[in-house]
Amino acid sequence: MRPSIRYFQHACRITLFTRANCQLCTNAKATLSDVWDVRPFHYTEIDVMKPEGKRWKDLYEFDTPVIHVSKSELGEENPESSAKATKLMHRFCAEEVTAKMDAAEGGHRPGD
């Protein structure tokens, strides 16, 4: 039996808002790596201090790391809708990330 295409699709997207020289950001990346090993997801990283992250700087310059967790099929992250985003800030563990993933997916994992 061959797995379906859906098996290979990731139901969640996680966006990490980060900056250079941030130990909490390094810890967050390690936590996300641990989660990825068990439950893959689409991943985007935005450095809020770089020119391409400028529109996020006002929101997260002093709050990194921050992750937004959403369904993969939703549009790109938007600063105007960040207040509604499912997020974790500063220090978080793998269990907290997977709980947010469950919530973003509607309370269940694909294939359940």
DSSP strand pairing (42-47 vs 12-18): parallel
Listed by start position, the domains of the chain span 5-104
Confidence of residue 10 (pLDDT cuts 50, 70, 90): low
Residue 67: beta bridge partners? 16, 88
How far, in Å, CA of 78 to CA of 73, rounded? 14
pLDDT tens per residue, range 88-99: 999 999 999 999
Q: Report whether CATH 3.30.365.10 matches the domain 5-104.
A: no
**CB count in 10 Å sphere of residue 39:** 17
For the chain, give the percent of residues with pLDDT over 70: 85
pTM: 0.83
- Residues 30-40 have a mean pLDDT of 96
What is the pLDDT at residue 61? 93
